[in-house]
Structure 1
């Protein structure tokens, strides 16, 4: 990859899964990484792993649905590394595969707050710093659920469709300011995101979605998603903007 050595990178949800894999890859490319996660132990472990390999990283821990945490993440990158070049909006939670009539207000508000509002607020917070530099890259983790209506429950699906819209809208608005905005749309991937689902409501989940879901195909490793994230953030993707890239072993082509 090119253009990442010495850069300042924020990766949210970096304590595990796709975020952890992305943070490690950015560090391998010579970037300085803000490892942001709700899980304190997970974030510290990733920082330790990066530092043991000779890289530079700092952990910021807390709930990204809290605007104060958003500000802390951005200020840490700016104050510690002198600016902010790349934002990876990766943190997210799953719903319980709930159909529309059964989604509670609590489930809806939690999913939208974490999966859509927090990435929006982070994007809004980093843009002034990128605009001041005249360059920057933002990469979102969307989902196969952002491309179709049959990959998850209603709340999660809507949140990821929102991320697709946020990606494209922001890309268009800032493309003449040196800022590129893209997203990956993972298919099935080996992560621990299912731990955020809680108990499944009776009668939903695979029973409900199964008849509408095509063959998902091979389950990806987190590092395969991370490779696409780092590529989109790098100068190797200098003319790629506003793209939602399926990383799904062809699921979106079915």
Structure 2
């Protein structure tokens, strides 16, 4: 049977401000990308999400970012490689404390926002992220875009490289994500998102921004927790996958 993991960005709050409906999304997804304090999240939020994820058997991933709370980690930044590696390890280590306290552990690492997009093509920044992961735990899988420099560097370092796809984001013909600033970059039609999810899981292909079908083979499917109606959309995606014969389960 075909299987796929569902991951979502969670813990994206700070103090009294909450962006994601963590509790309800954790009843749908199989992996949680938890903000580690650099683009969102704080100690209390991280602890709470880890406890909720552990209760539901959801895998915990460290969503590491550039240090950019004001820009939600979506602004391009130039960070020296040694500094970036140390900051990636720092974020993983912080989340690991709360995961262990909840009776579980950090199971994988995924970059966020501008860092995620940068390491698709930038070998130096990709190597810095991998160095940080190795510093924290040399067994952790790394989640990223198929064909990215990040996954290639991770494989060379002996880390498990896990490919992911985005049902609610438009793709270029080269298999990269259309930048958020462009029209149509985010797909908001729920029926289209469900259809694309099933397509990605069953055929390993998706329609690009121009309509051309492109290969996007992924072990995990990302559902953005900060979009309007995220919980209901996640439920519909999971239901669509399961009704089409796709088993939804964590990749680790």
TM-score, normalised relative to structure 2: 0.39
Which structure has greater strand proportion? 2
Q: Which structure: greater helix fraction? A: 1
